[in-house]
Amino acid sequence: MWSLILHGGAKEIDPEEEEAHRNGCIKALEAGRAVLAGGGTAVDAVEAAGRVLETDPTFNAGYGSALNSDGEVEMCAGVMEGRNFNVGAVAVIKGVRHPISVAKAMLHEEPILLASDGARRFAADKQLELCDPADLVTPQQRDLASKSEAKDTIGVVALDQYGDLAVGTSTGGLDGSAPGRVGDSPQPGCGYYADNQLGAVAFSGDGEHIARKALAARVMQELSARRALSSGQAAMAGVEEVLEPSLMEVEAIGGEAGAIVLTPTGKSGWAHNSREFAVAFMTSEDNHPHVFVRKRDEGR
Q: How far is the CB of 173 from ligand GLY (least distance, A)?
A: 4
- Give strand ranges (E) for 118-161: 154-159
Looking at beta carbons only, is 174 or 236 nearer to ligand GLY? 174
For ligand GLY (CB under 6 A), the number of binding residues is 11
| Binding characters for ligand GLY, 207-246, by CB under 6 A (x = yes) | x---------------------------------------
159-198: contacts with ligand GLY (CB under 6 A):
171, 173-174, 183-185
Is 169 noted as a catalytic residue in this protein? no
> C-beta of 299: minimal distance to ligand GLY in Å?
28
- Write each residue from 143 to 162 as x if it is in contact with ligand GLY (CB under 6 A), else as -, in one continuous string: ---------xx---------
Q: What is the closest distance, in whole angstroms, from the C-beta atom of residue 183 to ligand GLY in the complex?
A: 2
What is the nearest approach in angstroms of ligand GLY to the Cβ of residue 68? 11
> Which amino acid type is present at position 200?
A
Minimal distance, residue 233 CB to ligand GLY, in Å: 31
Q: From the list 204, 263, 268, 283, which residue makes contact with ligand GLY (rule: CB under 6 A)?
A: 204
Of 41, 55, 58, 153, the active-site residue reads 153
Q: Which is nearer to ligand GLY, 204 or 283 (CB)?
A: 204
Distance of CA 134 to the CA centre of its chain: 23
**Interface with ligand GLY (CB under 6 A):** 152-153, 171, 173-174, 183-185, 204-205, 207
- The set of catalytic residues is 153
